[in-house]
Amino acid sequence: MRKGEKGIFVVMAISIVVLIGVKIYQNSKNEGEDPGIPFYSTANKEVKDGAAKVMHFVECKKCHSIWGMKDFSQSVPAPSLDGMGMFRTEEWLYDYFSSENPQEMLTSRLKPEYRMPSLTHLTDDERKVLAKYIFSLKVEDWYLEETKQARYEKLTGNKYNNEAAKIK
């Protein structure tokens, strides 16, 4: 190795060591733990598998997102199914899926072709497993709080605080 090549090699080695040291230092500061993925299901394997078959058959993902995953070809502004079990009961979901006209239970401002279809063509057991699974979809409390904060600030333009949110 020539003298100039040794110098370049030494500079590169020192640079790599410095960059690794900076990265280690940044990681040690860690300003907050990553809270992880906020979505989870309380369903057992049997319910998950049964619901997966039904959801595939009726093409739920054509309109809805789940686990934060959205079909980029979807143009329907349907709600995410993540955390739905925290807002509705299993019985309500079963009644909704069993309704001849779901819009009577939950009105929609979507164009008729984008509204939730009736699922009465499914068997009673299929609607039950779908309701059980959707009810099992939960989100962590911290995620709900962050979502509530973002929504409040977007709608009002004001900084979020718990007292202001209680008034609204």
Q: What is the pLDDT of residues 138-154, one digit of tens each?
A: 888 877 777 778 777 77
User: Do 86 and 155 belong to one domain?
Assistant: yes
CA distance 62 to 16: 47
pLDDT at residue 63, as a whole number = 83
Q: Taking 60 as the threshold, does the pLDDT of residue 55 lie above it?
A: yes
User: What integer best gives the mean pLDDT of the chain?
Assistant: 82
User: Do 43 and 20 belong to one domain?
Assistant: no
CATH classification at residue 74: 1.10.760
User: Do 138 and 120 belong to one domain?
Assistant: yes
User: Do 10 and 71 belong to one domain?
Assistant: no
Structural domain of 120 = 39-167
pLDDT at residue 167, as a whole number = 44
User: Do 5 and 83 belong to one domain?
Assistant: no
Domain count, the chain: 2
**Contact residues for 114 (Cβ-Cβ < 8 A; gap 6+):** 63, 76, 77, 78, 108
Average pLDDT (115-123) is 92
Token pair in block for residue 134? 């959707």
In sequence order, what are the beta bridge partners of 139?
A: 39
Q: Taking 80 as the threshold, does the pLDDT of residue 73 lie above it?
A: no
User: Do 53 and 19 belong to one domain?
Assistant: no
CA distance 153 to 156: 5
What confidence tens digit (pLDDT) does each residue in 127-141 have?
999 999 999 998 888
CA distance 119 to 100: 8
Residue 21 vs residue 108, higher pLDDT: 21
Average pLDDT (82-93) is 90
